[in-house]
Structure 1
């Protein structure tokens, strides 16, 4: 194979390129590929050399998560080409400077310890970051929908919000913040560039993803496409060892090569990933609410972040300084974390974003821009009003 054209396209344009005859889909996580599979955009992999890797060099599951997608017909539709986990990267120098503990779990970065100015936690807007979207989905499944939104609200209240996940990583490396949500390979890059950085997988509160490669349904070059997939899953695993990339290979035999032996740090990270105690993560559940979750988060926690941060930091400060009682503190914290109440555009009834409601409106949010804009404005206004009302009570 000599003539390969790479096209970097946003997820929304993948179907267009697939219909035009792209041969291989590579990059992006399992949610994207499962969505393509569901919509019949993937072709089964039938090359025996590729299929022979499964169960020999590539495990079918790692830490309870699928590394291959089998259809009801028993055929294989995608295979993981790399592994990723999700957590946060800390800068130990900055933690020490602010006298902050090293967080090990999501609820620790949602705690009063991190309620400060300037914020020392960094997260990304989910509408601009697939890895942060995945982190928020993990939290909602690890803690349950209602409790998960409380944790997300407090993390956002403690955070500076960035437009992209790599901006969060850069801020941790530069020492602008103490902690930032990151996918694993951003964490490993941070550790390479700044030895005071450390990537942490929250114990029992994360997942290991297999990031897929697949043959696409309109491929006109099926033999060459599958030969390329075989290369990516074998010799091509060396790509992940590049110090500019720092990803975990899915095929551990690459660590036996001369290049692999130079990356004992990645081998250690790979072995640690295998031992990860993950949560039982339901991809279909995540997919069923992804638009609702992203847009509600954007409206209530990103767009209204200034009001949220101010209310939360003022509340914690007033309590620590003895200006309000413990009972009053608990009451106002509960009020801050209540689900936003808003008017359903269709019925006019006052509702909250339950998981059932999120599922009901999920597809419509993607297709009906007028409905989406109306709801987002409702969410934004209601969230701001709630946060300002808590702040007013604190200032009394």
Structure 2
């Protein structure tokens, strides 16, 4: 469904991904935030005021208490954090842009919570997903904020998040903040009920189109993912845009949605044809910018990228594929590297309550996770966002299995990159040859369908460990998922196998068309 424009005039966009066209650096390179420059190999923060004082006889340290997250049928004991003495500097590891960073710094440092916990300074580190682990390992950051559930679930799985134990935060769950929205988790808990991240904002996933560019290229308006994966969208140069999943958490989520919406086998066929009709970009914001400029007619976008495009160019419209999308929570979490866990949790509480007004800013335009913010004076001015929030609550999406997605995420990202990104030129050339042969009458409908089926069929490749010829089934992806992450040699070998096999398949189809 098409989304209405929310917010006022244009401005700097907000995002849990980079808002500017830039080349992402590796974890060994220097990362620049709006406040300072830091390398993951440097430790730049010092321990200040680590002493805590008890305000009540029941107050304990979060590191000493095992907590159970609130459930409807259980009695829960929480930890109450105590303000630290001395000046505290918090370091926030983030994917949010400088607009959100600046607003958070301005609002929070004026808050009573900041004063209570003696927090006098906030520094932000804007880092790519691949750099987060290095920063956490070096003990550089206290809080992780923004970047999508894929990133935070990865950190949770690998043990880089600390459980949230503050009673004020946990009391928000199930009251001010729903634990699920549109069937999707807004909280990540372990088997013991400990809470490791909480959504701070909501997001949906779809595509943004430029109506003027659609008209220029004679393209039908897409409503669903299958529309883009069709002969009707085959153009030279391609007029759809997608991002490399190894560089974009939002595009990773879109691909996971498609794989679950259509099933693993059919999902990969649809992804293959979408990629065949697409230009590949290094980052999701670059896709958005291309749509705004009319360089392409449409492209994958998270919702607030779409809303930004609509503000900056009236020809742009953001569309949520009906019944083929989900609502995601964009998390905030306490990092295990935090030197100030009490103050860090105080900041998290602020973000989930008073700090929700950041999303209402007309240069941000995101959906808050805590609807009580709409009862504030700022919230009363954003009835458009209030409407969008309650629309999101009733979005008809797929029954997305987050645990299932996590089991194949690394394998899926690398397979997509090897077979659809690195070999995109060969894929696009073969697909255009099939389409043009069909349009010219060189091949009939039956031959067209057969060649399309061959082009999108699962590739066969040699398993590096067994030497056997296999296909990339969901079961196989799950089996090698952790090995892809932990064994660089295995990853490099199998990625090359995938790349070579995909290229050979596309060239074979092209030769058959031309032959």
* Band of TM-score, shorter chain: over 0.9
How many residue pairs get aligned? The number is 396
Displacement of 1:92 after TM fit? 1.3
Q: How does 1:122-201 map to 2 (within 5 A)?
A: 122-201=241-320
Please say if residues 151 and 249 of structure 2, whose CA atoms lie closer than 8 Å, have aligned partners that are also in contact: no
Structure 2: distance between partners of 1:18 and 1:302: 30
Change (3 A) 1:264 1:321: farther
Please say if residues 314 and 394 of structure 1, whose CA atoms lie closer than 8 Å, have aligned partners that are also in contact: yes
Partner of 2:478: 359
Structure 2: distance between partners of 1:21 and 1:300: 36
Partner of 1:4: 122
Whether 2:156 is the aligned partner of 1:37: answer yes
Structure 1: distance between partners of 2:456 and 2:161: 42
Mean CA deviation greater in 106-115 or 252-261? 252-261
Please say if residues 44 and 77 of structure 1, whose CA atoms lie closer than 8 Å, have aligned partners that are also in contact: yes
Q: Which has the higher helix share?
A: 1
Partner of 1:119: 238
Among 330, 333, 350, which residue is 1:211 paired with?
330
- 1:175-216: CA deviation from partner (whole Å, max 9, x where unpaired): 111110011111111111111111111111111111111223
Displacement of 1:386 after TM fit? 1.3
TM-score (norm 2): 0.74
Partner of 2:426: 307
Structure 2: distance between partners of 1:189 and 1:314: 36
Whether 2:194 is the aligned partner of 1:64: answer no
- 1:111-136: CA deviation from partner (whole Å, max 9, x where unpaired): 11101112111001111111111111
Please say if residues 311 and 387 of structure 1, whose CA atoms lie closer than 8 Å, have aligned partners that are also in contact: yes
Whether 2:223 is the aligned partner of 1:223: answer no
Q: How does 1:90-109 map to 2 (within 5 A)?
A: 90-109=209-228
Task: List alignment gaps of at least 5 residues for structure 1.
Answer: none
Whether 2:136 is the aligned partner of 1:18: answer yes
Displacement of 1:109 after TM fit? 0.7
Displacement of 1:171 after TM fit? 0.5
Structure 1: distance between partners of 2:236 and 2:141: 49
Partner of 1:372: 491
Please say if residues 150 and 249 of structure 2, whose CA atoms lie closer than 8 Å, have aligned partners that are also in contact: no
Displacement of 1:21 after TM fit? 6.2
Please say if residues 189 and 243 of structure 1, whose CA atoms lie closer than 8 Å, have aligned partners that are also in contact: no
Structure 2: distance between partners of 1:38 and 1:307: 36
Whether 2:285 is the aligned partner of 1:285: answer no
- 1:7 is paired with a residue whose SS is strand
TM-score (norm 1): 0.95
Please say if residues 461 and 498 of structure 2, whose CA atoms lie closer than 8 Å, have aligned partners that are also in contact: yes
Structure 2: distance between partners of 1:275 and 1:101: 28
Structure 1: distance between partners of 2:185 and 2:417: 30
Structure 1: distance between partners of 2:437 and 2:224: 26
Partner of 1:382: 501
- Please identify the structure whose Cα radius of gyration is greater: 2
Structure 2: distance between partners of 1:376 and 1:45: 38
